[in-house]
């Protein structure tokens, strides 16, 4: 059973190196999708919010990685 868990972790590790980064992006997409009905009249606002959130999450991830090294 330990081998199966180790193999599973390795497979997930191929696609997800930083769990915090992955979870943060998924949560941000969910927040923007949930808030979408409030800005139906201003469609570009949703795209800008999505982009700004992604940029901030990426910047934070880079800072965290730099601190680790």
* CB-side neighbour CA atoms (13 Å) of 46: 15
Please compute the mean of the pLDDT values over residues 46-51 and round it to a whole number: 89
Q: Please name the residue that has the structure tokens 């992006």.
A: 25
* CB-side neighbour CA atoms (13 Å) of 9: 6
| pLDDT value, residue 51 | 95
The string of pLDDT tens digits covering residues 21-47 is 989 999 999 998 888 887 777 778 888
| pLDDT value, residue 25 | 94
pTM of the model: 0.74
């Amino acid at each position: 059973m330990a081998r199966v868990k180790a193999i599973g972790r390795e497979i997930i590790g191929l696609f997800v190196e930083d769990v915090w980064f992955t979870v943060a992006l998924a949560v941000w997409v969910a927040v923007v999708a949930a808030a979408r009905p409030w800005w139906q009249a201003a469609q570009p606002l949703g795209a800008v919010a999505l982009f700004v959130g992604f940029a901030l999450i990426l910047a934070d991830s880079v800072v965290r990685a730099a601190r680790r090294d």
